[in-house]
Structure 1
Amino acid sequence: MFDFSVLSQYLPRILSGAVLTIEIAVLSLVLSVLVGLVGAVMRLSKSAVLSGLATAYSTVVRGVPDLIWMLMVYYSAQIGLNALTEAMGIGSFEISPFFAGVFTLSFIFGAYFTETFRGAILAVPYGQIEAGYAYGFSAFAVLRRITFPLMMRYALPGVRNNWLVLTKATALVSIIGLDDMTRIAHQAGSSTHMPFLFNMVSALLFLAITFISLRVFAWLEKHYQRGVKQEESYE
C-alpha cells in the first residue's frame, strides 16, 4: 500500500525540481534555436567551408548518444580545463552543473534544429523572397518579414517534436548532480522504498508539461497559418 502522507512530505521538493527542469528546458530551447538558425544558414551557405563545418557538426552530434555528450562536457571537459589552467598557473576551474546541463542540451539540440530549419528554409517558395527584394526590401527585412514567418509554418512541427524530446532529455542532468524532479523523485523513492509512487509522480509532471506544450504549439501553428487558404473538403 502506498503511504500518501509520505508523498506530501516530498512533494514540495519534487515541485521545486520541476521548476528547475522547466528552467533548464526553456533556456536550452532558446539557445538551441539560435544555434540551429546559425547552423541552418551555414548549411545553406555557398561557402564550402561553412557548409562543411555545419554538416560535420550536425552529423557528429546527432550520431553520439546524449548521455555521452553530458558526461564528456561535465567530466572530461572539466578535467581538460583544469589541466590547461594549472599549466597556465591560474588554478583549478569548476564547471557549474547547471551551466553544463544547459550547454550540453543546447549543443545537442542545436544540431537537430539545424536540420529542422534547413528543411523549412528550403521549403519557402523562392519567388516570394525575390518579390521582397523587388519591392526594395533589405536582406534583413526580407528575412524578418518574409523568410522567417514562412519558414516557421514548415518548421513548427519539427520544433514541436524537438521541444518534446528536449523536455524529456532534461532528465540527463540528474547524473551530474542537479536536483531536477527526476533526481529528487528517485532519491525519495529509494529512501522510502516506494520507487513506483515517486517515479509515477515524476512521469505525471512530465505529461503535464507535454500537454501544456502541445496546447501552446497548437496556438502557434494557428498563428503562423494566418493568411493561408485552407482547402475545403466535400463529401
Structure 2
Amino acid sequence: METADYLQLIGFGAGGWGGRLLAGAGLTLAVAVCGFILALVIGALGAWCKIRGNAMVRLLTDLYTTALRGVPDLLVIYLVYFGSSALLTDVGHFFAANGFISLPGFVAGTIAIGVVGGALCTEVLRGGFSVVPTGELEAAMAFGMSPATCFRRVLAPLLLRSAMPGLGNVWLSLLKDSSLLSATGIIELMRATQVAADSTHMPFDFYLTAAAIYVLMAIISGLLLRRAERHYSRGVRGTGTRATQALGGVKP
C-alpha cells in the first residue's frame, strides 16, 4: 500500500478510520485508569489485611491474591460480566422485571481488571510497607501527628518510594488487559481495530497501527512513571549527592 493511501485510511477524513481508532484508544485509557484506581483501593485494603489482620483475614487475603494471580484474566472478565448479569437478572425477576439485565460493559470491565490488578497491588504495597522504617512512623506519632496526617506526610511517600516501580508494572499490565474487554461489548482499541481490519480486508495495516498506538501509550506512561519515581526519591538522590560531594566527587 502506498504511504498516501495508508495515511488516508487511518486519517480523519472521508473514509478514514482515525476517529474510531482514536475513540477506541480513549476508551482503553479510560477503563485502564478506572481499573487502576480500583486496583489501588483493593490493594491498599489487601495489604492492610495481610499486615494487620488476624490469621483468618490473612488466610482469606492470601487465597484472593493467589487465585486472582493464577486465573487467566479473560476468565475473570467472563466471570464478572456473566456472573453479575445472572445476579442482576435474578434480582430483577424477583421484583417482577422481565428480560436480561446486565452491567454496562464499561463498568463490568473496570471491575474485572480492578479485581485482577488489586491482587497484584496487594503484594506490591505489602512489599513497599515492609521496607518503611518503623522509626519514621514512631517519630511522626511522637510529634503528635494524627493517623491520617502520618499516612499522608510520612507513610505514603516512603511506601511509594519503593512501590512505584511495581505499581508501574501493574498499570502497564492493566493497560494491556483492556484489550480483552471487547468480551463485555465495549469498543476499545483492539475491537475498533478488528472492525476496521475486517471492513477493509487490511488486517496487517490496522493491527500494526494499533501496536504503534499501544507502544506510544506505554512510552508516555513510562515517562510519567519515571517522573513520579524521581519525585518520591528526592531524599535518596539528595543524600547520595551530598555523600558524593563529601568524598570529593568520588562515588562510594
Verify same fold: TM over 0.5: yes
Q: What letter is aligned with 2:158? A: L
Q: 1:115 aligns with which of 113, 123, 135?
A: 123
Distance in 2, matches of 1:105 and 1:53, equals: 20
**Runs in 1 of length 4+ with deviation above 6 angstroms?**
none
Higher relative contact order (CA 8 A, sep 6+): 1
Larger Rg: 2
Give the TM-score normalised by the residue count of structure 2. 0.87
Q: Which runs of 5+ in 1 are unaligned?
A: none
After TM superposition, give the deviation of residue 90 of structure 1 in Å. Answer: 4.0
Structure 2 partner of 1:220? 228
Larger mean CA deviation between 171-180 and 195-204 belongs to 171-180
- Alignment partner, residue 9 of structure 2: 6
User: Within the alignment, does 1:27 sit opposite 2:48 as a pair?
Assistant: no
Amino acid at match of 2:29: I
State the alpha-carbon separation in 2 of the partners of residues 115 and 98 from structure 1: 26
Q: In 1, distance between residues paired with 2:228 and 2:112?
A: 27
- In the other structure, the counterpart of 1:63 is 70
What corresponds to 1:75 in structure 2?
Answer: 82
Judge which range, 73-82 or 33-42, deviates more: 73-82
Query: How much is the aligned-residue C-alpha RMSD, in angstroms?
Result: 1.7
Count how many residue pairs are aligned between Structure 1 and Structure 2. Answer: 235
TM-score, length basis structure 1: 0.93
Instruction: Check conservation: 2:49, 2:58, Cα contact below 8 A.
Output: yes
**Is the Cα–Cα contact under 8 Å of residues 39 and 114 in structure 2 kept in the other structure?**
yes
How far apart are 1:83 and its partner, in Å?
2.8
Distance in 2 of aligned mates of 1:193 and 1:187: 10
Matched, 1:208 2:216: yes
Residue from 48, 58, 62 that aligns with 1:51: 58
User: How far is 1:88 from its partner?
Assistant: 4.6
* Pairwise CA distance, 1:50: 2.3
- Matched-pair identity in %: 33
**Cα displacement string for residues 14-66 of structure 1 (whole angstroms, at most 9, x for unaligned residues):** 01111111111111111111111111111111422322222221111111000
